[in-house]
Amino acid sequence: MRRRVVVTGMGVVNPLGHNVETMWKALIESRSGVGPITIFDATGYPTTIAAEVKDWNVSLVGEDRSYWDKRGRHTRFAVGAAKQAVQQSGILDSSFDPTRIGVYLGAGEGNQNFQSFTNMVTAGVEEGPFSLSKFLKKGFDIMDMAAEMEQEPNMPAAHLAALFNAQGPNSNCLTACAASSQAVGEATELIRCGDADVMIAGGCHSMIHPFGLTGFSLLTTLSERNSDPTRASRPFDKDRDGFVLGEGAAIVILEEYERARQRGATIYGEVLGYGSTADAYRITDIHPEGRGAIGCMKQAIADAKLNLDEIGYVNAHGTSTAVNDRTETLACKGVFGDRAKLTPVSSTKSMMGHLIAAAGATEMICCLLAIRDEILPPTINQETPDPNCDLDYVPNVARPSKIRVALNNSFGFGGQNVTLAVGTLRNGPGV
């Protein structure tokens, strides 16, 4: 009998809010977090809009800003979300063995410091890569190297382990837009099989920097609706012209059910199922028939031992690109069959943009809140029907709905596909 896994803490920092409840209120009120880019001067780029985290720093979660401001932007977001989740869970107030607490993130790189990178390359070319004394004589600041290292994807997980004395398994995956969903899924498996009792899981990312904007601009995947930013992200709408970059972090505390029950923890839901597949197709294109997406949804449903009529909501990957929206719609039909048009599907990316590696865990939290409050977040900017997208996308306005189980889809470049099934706490032993 495998061990059950429940969620006992949640935290976010993203364009719609600095905590879970603020974000959720904005989603239910159909508010957009998209606006002009202010982090750097985007003049001259085809896209000058994004969904930025505004007016936030680590002092708001009780941390020393002078210390954390030297770390990557993605790390600071992760610290903010993790502090909220850990505090809410109460795991540090209980008698947990620190070697049984782990960290599993889907974290991307931080906001790139191009000047420090240029300094390192220039010094290396002129003096050779092994001559530190010559670097210093040339005025090279050793902190440049430290600053660059802080942008690495594994740094947030390392910092969280140190911050919370989590001495158990520590991993990071960077499977593009599926990363934080995969991190939650893999962390769930570690608890199920007995390798950990608690996992601090989720993701963080910020690609709102010149390199990130340039890359996506060259792929022609970003919206260029610069004069009307709040209407730029419009998943499943015929008049969409691309996705909107976002940034942030989302962390959940996953815990073995019996341990959580015995210590009287508040349980926000159960991770019922996890599916993960690869398209094995093109690097930047989803399989046109949605075979990977269909496969991971079916895996998650089977893993959770669910009937299709038990699933009340799907939080879509829903990026606001024509290919993704059409293919995800096709995949939902391939999984749900006749029930596809009866199952509400919405994209919260329409309001917060695409948080890339942090997207999946954020949207999993949205699923848990939809179940808790019996209300479905909408897909805003649904104005012109797309004949290729003909499901119920909960257009523009949140909808009351009593649901017990939801699916969360995450699909990434390279053909990475992950689906998580979450729901209310089931009665009886694990399966």
Beta bridge pairs of residue 254: 7, 199
Q: Would the pLDDT of 111 be above 70?
A: no
Can 296 be counted among the known catalytic residues?
A: no
pLDDT in tens, 65-107: 999 999 999 999 999 999 999 999 999 988 889 999 999 999 9
pLDDT in tens, 322-371: 999 999 999 999 999 999 999 999 999 999 999 999 999 999 999 999 99
The single residue of 177, 204, 296, 332 carrying the catalytic annotation is 177
Q: Would the pLDDT of 313 be above 70?
A: yes
The single residue of 317, 332, 366, 367 carrying the catalytic annotation is 317
The single residue of 159, 354, 367, 389 carrying the catalytic annotation is 354
DSSP codes, 195-240:
S-SEEEEEEEEE--SHHHHHHHHHTT-B---TTSGGGT--TTBTT-
Q: What pTM value is reported for the model?
A: 0.92
Determine the average pLDDT of the residues in 376-400.
97
Q: Would the pLDDT of 12 be above 70?
A: yes
Q: Collect all residues with Cβ–Cβ distance below 8 Å to 84 and sequence separation of at least 6.
A: 9, 10, 11, 12, 19, 20, 61, 251
- Return d(Cα 428, Cα 16) in angstroms, integer: 37
Token digits for 62? 């009780």
Residue 392's nearest CA partner among 378, 409, 381 is 378
Can 287 be counted among the known catalytic residues?
A: no
pLDDT in tens, 184-212: 999 999 999 999 999 999 999 999 999 99
Helix (H) or strand (E) holding 73: helix 73-89
Can 354 be counted among the known catalytic residues?
A: yes
